[in-house]
Amino acid sequence: EVSQPPTITRQSPKDYIVDPRENIVIQCEAKGKPPPSFSWTRNGTHFDIDKDAQVTMKPNSGTLVINIMNGGKAEAYEGVYQCTARNERGAAISNNIVIRPSRSPLWTKEKLEPNQVREGDSLVLHCRPPVGLPPPIIFWMDNAFQRLPQSERVSQGLNGDLYFSNVQPEDTREDYICYARFNHTQTIQQKQPISVKVFSMDSLNDTIAANLSDTDIYGAKPVTERQPVLLTPTGSASTKVELRGNVLLLECIAAGLPTPVIRWIKEGGELPANRTFFENFKKTLKIIDVSEADSGNYKCIARNILGSAHHVISVTVKGNTKIILSVTLNLVLSPGEDGTLICRANGNPKPNISWLANGVPIAIAPEDPSRKVDGDTIIFSHVQERSSAVYQCNASNEYGYLLANAFVNVLAEPPRILTPANKLYQVIADSPALLDCAYFGSPKPEIEWFKGVKGSILRGNEYVFHDNGTLEIPVAQKDSTGTYTCVARNELGKIQNEVQLEVKDPTMIIKQPEYKVIQRYGQVSFECIIKHDSTLLPTVIWLKDNDELPDDERFLVGKDNLTIMNVTDKDDGTYTCIVNTTLDSVSASAVLTVVGKNTLKLYARPNPPFDLELTGQLERSVELSWIPGDENNSPITNFVIEYEDGLHEPGVWHYQTEVPGTQTTVQLKLSPYVNYSFRVIAVNEIGRSQPSEPSEQYLTKSANPDENPSNVQGIGSEPDNLVITWESLTGFQSNGPGLQYKVSWRQKDVDDEWTSVIVANVSKYIVSGTPTFVPYEIKVQALNDLGYAPEPSEVIGHSGEDLPMVAPGNVQVHVINSTLAKVHWDPVPLKTVRGHLQGYKVYYWKVQSLSRRSRRHVEKKILTFRGNKTFGMLPGLEPYSSYKLNVRVVNGKGEGPASPDKVFKTPEGVPSSPSFLKITNPTLDSLTLEWGSPTHPNGVLTSYILKFQPINNTHELGPLVEIRIPANESSLILKNLNYSTRYKFYFNAQTSVGSGSQITEEAVTIMDEAGILRPAVGAGKVQPLYPRIRNVTTAAAETYANISWEYEGPDHANFYVEYGVAGSKEDWKKEIVNGSRSFFVLKGLTPGTAYKVRVGAEGLSGFRSSEDVFETGPAMASRQVDIATQGWFIGLMCAVALLILILLIVCFIRRNKGGKYPVKEKEDAHADPEIQPMKEDDGTFGEYSDAEDHKPLKKGSRTPSDRTVKKEDSDDSLVDYGEGVNGQFNEDGSFIGQYSGKKEKEPAEGNESSEAPSPVNAMNSFV
């Protein structure tokens, strides 16, 4: 056998907390050839297990067992342990394993005073559990061991304390008990009960009522409401640091009455949608798998009707704080070869790297002249056999350390081929064929493939040669059948192996089932005729609606057809023919529709069966019998049996089987470890009956699992791991208690032995420390307390991808035209991709325009080219510009390094249109043109081209004149034009490539300088004034606007009004004005909208006024409500009238009261009401004096002597809504429109009015 240095395959966790009552097992397993021996250190010194009778080591293993249950004390074995596995080729070491016994200390004795609190106050009950290892789980219960109910008002904080936002009388109790559960020792400790007594406001009022005035009593509220105050965290801001990938927990608990509601926001951003959870009645914000993007300020807001309080938590997420360690593959070298070990560690802070050789720091290890250490790299040159060793890389920072072993094995071995000789491979034509040639040798052998025993060597694009020796034929054909020879050779020898390939014809359905429509009670057949390879044995399966065919004698399955006898409505559906061979599978489907007159409308569904009975109970079967219910004139066709698993899914019923309607007993197959109940449903052609009453329960015995997890996959999430996932078994499938999984893996074609671990009932396991992107064989086996499931099948997975190592080379750019370029590159070697090649990305960006020489913000564009392409097109470039680009290779992990930037330039193109063209200063025979240069010149401008032509009154175009203008001009005066003539202008710019797009404008020369046309020769008439529209004014309402204007010019002009939404690019809307009126009403406008408007005259060369902008009024309520007819208003008025009547009666009684009064009091009672101040500290009306009783009530509300009304005295006063100077309105005027209606102007004489008072005035008169 080939010698191999040791490799650690299993070890206990670094931080190992043990139960002090049970034996301590410290794992250390390793492999190697010859098998390694094991030794241990404790706290850095040799641990001699032979001298301690309580410590034993398992045979053929390094695992220690410390016997605690026979008198040993776990505390005596607390310390740091390290295992060394050694053979003649080197020594591998484990992590430092820290052994700590779990601790569950008792609560310290304390005297707890009763908590006496007033109703509505906040309260915090502190738990303060003892410090345990690991920390305990906290919960609150009463002395009957019942959990205390929690709500938005009462909840437990993250620190274990119990918080009351406000206490209520029902919170009074003497048994608030905090419990601490220590999981490792399965013990629970409890705190002394805490007593809480809540004093209600009713009891307090009874006690102190005698000491309070009437006003104080009537003004007091039963419980004082309070705005929110944060109980935790305290202050207005705090900070929190979390590590990337961890769970972020933020907490806010507030006091207040009513109970505050908590809301969370992230300032300047949003909470991550799929990773955010709210717990503890939204008092706890939980974000899983945090990253640097989650850093920021998080604000919790506690709010009730009285106000709010908030707290800002500044969260910092540190990236890569945990060390990510990646060591290159173990090296197998032959004497004289070179090699490299690289240890890459990332982290924040950056980890320190140290090397060990065979467990000894490399600085004091025996010297090796072939070895050179350079930081995180060890370089080996011209190695000898004595250079074999195991090297350890230790990376550490303040957050911990990671240790990785990698061996260097110097061997001189001739080639060996591990694939069995004459192995037979069978594939279907036009599919890939993979022929294995697993090999070993040192130096690494070269692999060649031949077809036949003495054929020529295989080369060319039709074959793919993998590094592990596998030959891939991407598209195998019939002529690919034959013998293939694999030859492995190195300088020490040569060996060959032959394998056989058979390419089979594909299976086909040459006559597929067809759509059928059949009468009820008829017969129908579906055909499925197939053609297949003569050496393959096909099997045909029929499905109905993707499920098995009903167990019914009416369904007859033939060799190439399916026949259904006596068709019923329930046979409607899709029927599928599936043909399977050992190599391929095909299917075809057809729909059956059952039609016919329904003659069963008067019949009914059957009554449910009854009297269910279980007999003949066995471990895997039971007999169920029942009595059918009334079939209601329609024969029962079948019975459906359903079961409930009361152990795993209580309340959920599952389909078990069906039997014909003539059968009333059935033998049912059962699964282990299920608490069965059964029910029966009768079915006839009308439908299904109600389910029967459930049978008695029957619990089956436990057994080994019958099946293993499905959908086993292996996909790495990091470059140095392999994430193995599977679909867990259900409780029904577990067959017994204690469901677990045995996860096994080994590197394909490299490892001989499986590495296994047993995990709990989960669906994922992560293997760390794997090489980057290599194939693994994986299997997952189920087990329970009674044993293992059958041996599972193996699947192939891959460890994680890493970023590509190199950039594409030889990047070349070929500029095709001014907007298109083609880029070429050389593909990167597949070995450097380190993952699945997804394609290449081209980053390109404009550096500057060559015409303007001005840089701008760089906006990089990205084009992705899928697959192994080596070229791509770059469209949409800007002409006459300088660009840069680079190329990167992409795999499933991300992008590789960029190639060096490549600079290229695009040639000139045609320019865009000039940025504007304005025509100003019209005279009798000239116009002035001004323009702006093109926004995108796309080259060097050579000139501008101006073309123009006159337009007569019938809109016919005259001769076209063209003028070339130098490129440096920006204006031009056109002279010798005809007066009072409309011209159309076309204007564009040119480069050496050609002319760009043009813009057009129209303008008119004027009639004469004075606005009056000179008389024509021989005509004694004076022409009218040059037409002019001016002073356009608008008066806008809610949905219409009145447009008016002034006009000078010929009589009988036909006007039109054009309008549109201001700022909109939509075309103008046009309305014709009837007659020659100088006003027009625009209707159908949208309330609250700004419009633009202009006025024109037909037949006057399209002459228009300048634009004007107006805005319609705001939208009013859609319904005008007469407040005086509203029920609530009438009720309010009645209440006010009744109140005034009561006040008058009280005043009358007081006025006529007998008795003697002090003179001073009498004088005060008759004081002038105009100088008597009102009470400001009292919400009541006060008492009216006799003088007031003789005065009529005035309109309007009473005011103090200073004639002012304090706003805080009555925020709801209707004075605020009056029409006087102090009147206040809503922004949209809705109050007036809804309550007061339209009102004429008030008369100038104060408040007097000849009109009946409006409801508002009526209300004011009572205040």
The token pair that represents 681 in the structure block: 């449903």
Q: Which two tokens stand for residue 81?
A: 């342990």
- 1052-1060: average pLDDT: 83
How far, in Å, CA of 1067 to CA of 1070, rounded? 9
**pLDDT single digits (tens) 6-48:** 999 999 999 999 988 889 999 999 999 999 999 999 999 999 9
Give yes or no for a contact between 999 and 930, defined as CB atoms under 8 angstroms apart.
no
Q: What is the pLDDT of residues 930-971, one digit of tens each?
A: 999 998 999 999 999 999 999 887 778 889 999 999 999 999
Residue 350 one-letter amino acid: K
CB 299 within 8 A of CB 308: no
Beta-bridge partner residues of 140: 178
In this structure, which amino acid lies at residue 1071? Answer: E
Same domain, yes or no: 1132 and 1255: yes
HSE, CB side, 13 Å, CA atoms: give it for residue 12: 22
| Whether residue 349 sits in one domain with residue 259 | no
| pLDDT value for 1117 | 42
Q: Cα(first)–Cα(last) distance of the chain, in Å?
A: 110
Tell me the sheet residues that pair with 886.
Answer: 843
In single-letter form, the type of residue at position 410 comes to V
- Chain-centroid distance of CA 293 in Å reads 14
**Structural tokens at position 1235:** 């309550």
The answer to whether residue 1017 scores a pLDDT higher than 50 is no
Return all residues near 1066 (Cβ < 8 A) that are at least 6 apart.
1060
Mean pLDDT of 1151-1155: 59
Question: Is the distance from CB of 1200 to CB of 1174 less than 8 angstroms?
Answer: yes
Residues 321, 317: Cα–Cα separation, whole Å: 9
> How many C-beta atoms surround the C-beta of residue 313 within 10 A?
20
Edge-to-edge strand ranges of the sheet holding 400-410: 331-333, 400-410, 389-397, 352-357, 360-361
CB distance 328 to 341 below 8 Å: yes
Look up residue 1025 and give its DSSP letter.
Answer: B
Residue with tokens 């008759």: 1166
- pLDDT higher than 90, residue 1249: no
pLDDT at res. 313: 96
Q: Which residues of 852-870 are buried (b: 16+ CB within 10 A; e: fewer)?
A: eeeeeeeeeeebebeeeee
Res. 165: pLDDT tops 60: yes
Same domain, 1083 and 1099: yes
Say if CB 562 and CB 556 are below 8 A apart.
yes
Give the residue from 529, 520, 591, 590 showing the smallest Cα distance to 558. 529
pLDDT computed for residue 1044 by the predictor: 84
* Letter string b/e over residues 1222-1252, b meaning 16 or more CB atoms within 10 A of that residue's CB: eeeeeeeeeebbbbbeeeeeeeeeeeeeeee
pLDDT tens string 42-82 = 999 999 988 988 899 999 999 999 998 887 788 899 999 99
> pLDDT (tens digit, 9 = 90+) per residue, 526-566?
999 999 999 999 999 999 999 999 999 999 999 899 999 99
- 268 has pLDDT over 90: no
Q: Name the more confident of 520 and 1104.
A: 520
Quick one: 312 and 250 in the same domain? Answer: yes
Q: What does the alpha-carbon distance between residue 1129 and residue 491 come to, in Å, rounded to a whole number? A: 109
pLDDT score for 1161: 41
Q: Which long-range contacts (CB under 8 A, 24 or more apart) does 656-661 make?
A: 657/551, 658/550, 658/551, 659/551, 660/552, 660/553, 661/628, 661/635, 661/636, 661/637
Return the structure tokens found at 337.
């070869």
Residue 1117 counted as domain residue:
no
Residue 878 has pLDDT above 50, yes or no: yes
Residue 899 and residue 918 share a domain:
no
User: Could you tell me the pLDDT band of residue 857, with boundaries at 50, 70 and 90?
Assistant: low
Q: How far is 733 from 739, CA to CA, in rounded Å?
A: 10
Using a pLDDT cut of 90, give the percent of the chain over it: 54
Q: What is the mean pLDDT of residues 739-759?
A: 89
Contact (Cβ atoms closer than 8 angstroms) between residue 602 and residue 632:
no
Distance of CA 1196 to the CA centre of its chain: 61
The pLDDT confidence band at residue 1054, using thresholds 50, 70 and 90, is confident
The per-residue pLDDT for 324 is 55
Q: Which structural domain range is residue 486 located in?
A: 413-504
Q: What is the pLDDT of residues 197-209, one digit of tens each?
A: 999 866 555 554 4
3-state secondary structure of 543: strand
* pLDDT at position 968: 92
CA 1038 to chain centre: 45
User: For the chain, how long is the longest CA-to-CA vector?
Assistant: 143
Which band of pLDDT confidence, cut at 50, 70 and 90, is reported for residue 1006?
Answer: confident
User: What dihedral do alpha carbons 1040, 1046, 1048, 1052 form, nearest 10°?
Assistant: 40
Q: Are 345 and 395 in contact (CB under 8 A)?
A: yes
User: At which of 356, 380, 410 does a domain end?
Assistant: 410
Quick one: 623 and 687 in the same domain?
Answer: yes
pLDDT band at 496 (very low <50, low <70, confident <90, very high): very high
Q: Are residues 434 and 470 in the same domain?
A: yes
Higher pLDDT, 1016 or 630: 630
Q: pLDDT at position 1224, please?
A: 39
Range in 317-326, 666-675, 773-782, 804-813 with the lowest mean pLDDT = 317-326
Mean pLDDT within 916-929: 91
Identify the domain boundary among 856, 885, 905: 905
Model confidence pTM above 0.85: no
Residue 1216, phi then psi, degrees to nearest 5: -60, -20
- 886 in a domain, yes or no? yes
Quote the distance between the C-alpha of residue 217 and its chain's center.
56
Give yes or no for residue 1212 having a pLDDT over 50. no
The reply to whether 1167 falls in a domain is yes
φ and ψ at 732, to 5 degrees?
A: -65, -35
pLDDT of residue 957: 86
Q: Based on the domain organization, do 451 and 529 belong to the same domain?
A: no
* Alpha carbon distances (Å) from 479 to 483, 501, 504, 775, 801: 11, 10, 10, 30, 37
Find the range with the poorest average confidence among 440-449, 582-591, 1239-1248.
1239-1248
pLDDT in tens, 622-663: 999 999 999 888 889 999 999 999 888 999 999 999 999 999
- pLDDT given at position 1100: 53
Q: Does 295 or 202 have the greater pLDDT score?
A: 295
One domain for residues 366 and 485 = no
Q: Which of 59, 75, 101 is the last residue of a domain?
A: 101
d(CA 1244, CA 1241): 9
CB 883 within 8 A of CB 904: yes
| Half-sphere exposure (Cβ direction) of 755: Cα atoms closer than 13 Å | 23
pLDDT at residue 1261 in the model = 33
Please name the residue that has the structure tokens 């080197």.
90
CA of 745: how far to CAs of 2, 403, 438, 645, 775, in Å?
22, 21, 18, 35, 10
8 Å CB contact between 193 and 176: yes
Mean pLDDT for 80-104 is 93
- The Cα–Cα gap between 188 and 181 comes to 4
Domain match, 292 and 419 both: no
Q: Is the pLDDT of residue 328 over 80?
A: no
Instruction: Give the single-character DSSP code of 1233.
Output: I
- Residues 516 and 528: their CA atoms lie apart, in Å, by 14
pLDDT at position 1250:
36
User: Residue 480: what are its φ and ψ, rounded to 5°?
Assistant: -75, -10
Determine contact, residues 320/196, Cβ cutoff 8 Å: no
Question: What is the residue-averaged pLDDT of the chain?
Answer: 83
CATH of the domain at 528: 2.60.40.10
Q: In this structure, which amino acid lies at residue 968?
A: N
At 650, list the tokens: 């209580």
**Domain count across the chain:** 12
* Cβ neighbours around 197 below 10 Å, total: 14
Is residue 325 situated within a structural domain?
no
Residue 1011 lies in a domain: no
Strand, helix or coil at 630?
Answer: coil
Structure confidence by residue, pLDDT tens digits, 814-831: 999 999 999 999 999 988
Q: Are residues 1143 and 1233 in the same domain?
A: yes
The verdict on whether omega for the bond into residue 135 sits within 30 degrees of 0, i.e. cis, is no
Query: Tokens 């064989």, residue?
Result: 777
Answer yes or no: is 1040 within a domain. yes
CA angle 679, 684, 690 (to 5 degrees): 35
Could you tell me if 1145 and 1221 lie in one domain? yes
Percent of the chain with pLDDT over 70: 83
- Dist CA 105 CA 1153 (whole Å): 80
Cα–Cα distance for residue pair 128/955, rounded to 1 Å: 95
Residue 399: pLDDT band with limits 50, 70, 90: confident
- Residue 1013 within any structural domain of the chain: no
SS3 assignment, position 272: coil
Q: DSSP readout, 598-617?
A: ---TT--PPPPPEEEEEES-
In a domain, 1014, yes or no: no
pLDDT band at residue 1105 using 50, 70 and 90 as cut-offs: low
pLDDT digits over 1156-1201, tens only?
444 344 444 444 433 333 333 344 334 333 433 333 333 333 333 3
* SS3 per residue for 84-148: EEEECCEEEECCCEEEEECECCCCCCCCCCCEEEECCCCEEECCCCCCCECCCEEEEECCCCCEC
